[in-house]
Amino acid sequence: MCEICGRSIKGKGREVFVESARLTVCQNCVRYGTVVKKKPVKSDRKPAFHPKTEDYEVVDEYPDVVRRGRERRGLTQKELARTINEKESVIHRVETGHMRPSRKLARKLEGALEITLVEKVSEPEIVHTRRYSDDLTIGDVIRIKKRKA
């Protein structure tokens, strides 16, 4: 049945949007809405397994590391920028600490200057401790009731 005029639909109706509502309509009422485009059917393939990637982060003292590495190699900011295909202003902002380099930029700098800017971040171990007090907690009440039962 057409959801606009009520006529029975021969075969398969068309889906259209009419004022934000998705309706199945006959061929005559298609003109009152916007035709819904069908999305391609996804295959039955399982998604690829992606193991958790390690977390790496740029070291905090990156401005000094980059500047010392550049000076040790005897390069100007302009020469270094040309070497790694970046703008001179990017190198200047990294060395002054106004811009934290992305991992991609940090890897470029590491390769050109033979320095270490990216390090593996380890997750801090969470230790759960319970501090005992004289106060009665809900857990204590449950344990007491279970013992009496």
Residues 6+ apart with CB under 8 A from 84: 105, 108, 109, 111, 112
pTM over 0.95: no
25 by DSSP, 3-state: which? strand
Of 57, 71, 73, 72, the residue nearest 117 (C-alpha): 57
The residue among 145 and 15 whose pLDDT is bigger is: 15
Q: What is the pLDDT of residues 7-20, one digit of tens each?
A: 888 877 888 888 87
Q: What is the pLDDT of residues 73-82, one digit of tens each?
A: 999 999 999 9
Q: Helices then strands (H, E): number in the chain?
A: 5, 5
Q: Which domains does the chain have, with CATH numbers?
A: 1-37 (no CATH), 56-120 (1.10.260.40)
From start to end of the chain, where are the E strands?
Answer: 14-18, 21-25, 34-35, 56-58, 118-120
The pLDDT of residue 123 is 65
